[in-house]
Amino acid sequence: MSEIILEMKGVRKEFPGLVANDNVNLQVKKGEIHVLLGENGAGKSTLMNILYGLYAADGGEVIFKGNVIHDNTPKKAIGMGVGMVHQHFMLIPALTVVENMILGMQEGPNPVINKKEAANKILELGKKFGLKVDPYAKVWQLSVGEQQRVEILKALFRGAELLILDEPTAVLTPQETQELFTLLRGLTKQGLTIIFITHKLNEVMEISDRITILQRGKVVGTVNTKDTNKQDLARMMVGRDVVLSVDKAPANPGAKVLEVKDLEVKNDKNLVAVNKLSFEIRAGEIFGIAGVDGNGQSELVEALTGLRVVESGEVIYNNENVTNKPPRYLIEKGMAHIPEDRHLRGLVLNMSVKENMVLEDFYREPFTVNHFMKFDKIDAYSKELIKEYDIRLSSDDIPVGNLSGGNQQKVVLARMLQRNPNLLIVMHPTRGLDVGAIEFIHKRIIRARDNGSAVLLISTELEEVLTLSDRIGVIYEGQLMGIVNQKDANTNELGLMMAGSHKAS
């Protein structure tokens, strides 16, 4: 256990305007599960991309199995026995499992590929490590969990001794996560070493042997898991004490604001994405929808906000049938939408902060009078919001794209909440944000509820849905598996529903 397989010394990597890794030292022992813990943007993935040869470091050295590595490339890294499972899978959906395995491998003088031999090797490896996969299935036909297994197999197929997993549980249900952990423990028993990147404290305590904590590109320290606890880790990760729970008074639901009846919506591939879905939300409550990414959440939100055509079913909003009404109509009725991708839908990145502040209302008084925009009014309005929502910036004339993710999200939030919406639709409100910003945004969403808004919260972070929502629905393949009250909810039951079993009634 004590042999050191990997050592990274003084590694530095800069991107324009940002030091992603600053004098990072890391030691990994053979046969351990070593967690790299840190917030988004702490430099965990950057460090691993350097190890895997995707990025060139600006300084420092990497020593693997006693050899210093120069001019690293993925090819070299693979050759040495480093395998990486990226957060966004590096599989080609249109090809079969076996073709994905062979890619870059059978490179000898004989150009003809031998699928049969590769398929046998896949089955053999599968048996050895307990990873069952059909070699001739096309990757797009596999579930996300299966794709992840293929990615792990792909690394093993290439003879990996050190396996890097970048946020592997982000796309899994709690049960699938448990299966993955069992698998990883099995792998270390066979002599593999695993580096596990995450920002989820529960997982860290459960799976790791040792932990290295990164904060803003620097190593805070390396600790043994058995000598630490979640509070300490959170403090090392953020640099201050963190409140890990949210204060919330019981909900006081009022009149019905939104009712969805048998909604059916298709996705871009023209397949049914939302399937006969029904629910309702009342004023003053938060209805959360949990589920693994890609189960129709995006299509549901797009249909409710007028961005996607409803095939059948009804959306009743404030006692009016608004099915397939255009977005502006809904906005003028008082609907607000914090979209899943703030870059794509929430903001115009190249426009200034103050211009972004009036994206919904720019054409109306007081911002526009007789077709002329009143910039002094816009300016004053924007300044007020920046103060109210504590948005940190040097000037409100800079493009909103120059702000940090947390401040960008605050711009979206400010714009939406300032309109006093009667219905607030929020998707992944804290994706990619640091703990401080998450705290702030959670508080504001709860305040909006307390002020009488009906809130629809959709998130793939089960924790987030569990803490914020008053009632929780679980979506799976476009259908609601059931609705539970927050006080009756438990992770295990929700997890089973996320994997497709109906609520036990």
Partner 1 sequence: MQILSLLIEADFWAATLRLTTPLLLAALGGVFSERAGINNMGLDGAMLMGAFFGYIGALFTQNAFLGFVCAAISGALIMLLLGFMSINVKVNQIVTALGTNMLALGVTSTAFRMIFGNDLAQLTSPGLVPVNFGSLSKIPFLGKVLFGQTPIVYLAIILVPISHYIMYNTHWGLKIRATGEHPKAVDTVGIDVYKVRYVSLIISGILCGLGGAAVTLTGINTFYDNITAGRGFIAVAAVVFGKWSPVGASLATLLFGAGEAFQLRLQGLGFDIPYAYFYMLPYIVTMISLIFFMGPSKGPAATGQPYIKSGSKAKRKKVSRAGLKPEVKS
Catalog residues that contact partner 1 under the rule CB under 8 A: 14-16, 18, 20, 36, 38-46, 49, 52, 54-56, 73-76, 78, 84, 86-87, 89-95, 99, 102-107, 111-113, 158, 166-167, 197, 199, 343-344, 349-350, 401, 432
86 or 282: whose CB is closer to partner 1? 86
- Smallest separation (angstroms) from partner 1 to the CB of 109: 11
217 or 306: whose CB is closer to partner 1? 217
Q: Hey, how many other C-beta atoms are within 10 angstroms of the C-beta on 101?
A: 26
267 or 318: whose CB is closer to partner 1? 267
Please say whether the beta carbons of 414 and 338 come within 8 A: no
Tokens of 100: 């994905």
323 sits in which H/E element: none
Q: Hey, how many other C-beta atoms are within 10 angstroms of the C-beta on 75?
A: 11
Q: Hey, how many other C-beta atoms are within 10 angstroms of the C-beta on 139?
A: 19
Q: Classify residue 56 as exposed, middle or buried by CB count within 10 Å of its CB (0-12, 13-18, 19+).
A: exposed
43 or 421: whose CB is closer to partner 1? 43
- Smallest separation (angstroms) from partner 1 to the CB of 345: 11
- Give CA–CA dist 97/284, Å, rounded: 49
Q: Which residues contact 227 (CB under 8 A, 6 or more apart)?
A: none
- Smallest separation (angstroms) from partner 1 to the CB of 335: 25
- Smallest separation (angstroms) from partner 1 to the CB of 354: 20
- Smallest separation (angstroms) from partner 1 to the CB of 336: 23
- Smallest separation (angstroms) from partner 1 to the CB of 112: 6
94 or 249: whose CB is closer to partner 1? 94
Q: Give the CA radius of gyration of the chain.
A: 25
207 or 257: whose CB is closer to partner 1? 207
- Give CA–CA dist 496/395, Å, rounded: 48
Tokens of 390: 């504590």
Instruction: Report cis status (omega within 30 of 0) of the bond before 366.
Output: yes
- Smallest separation (angstroms) from partner 1 to the CB of 194: 16
Residue with tokens 């404290």: 201
- Smallest separation (angstroms) from partner 1 to the CB of 9: 20
66 or 111: whose CB is closer to partner 1? 111
- Give CA–CA dist 107/95, Å, rounded: 18
Please say whether the beta carbons of 282 and 257 come within 8 A: yes
52 or 476: whose CB is closer to partner 1? 52
Please say whether the beta carbons of 167 and 207 come within 8 A: no
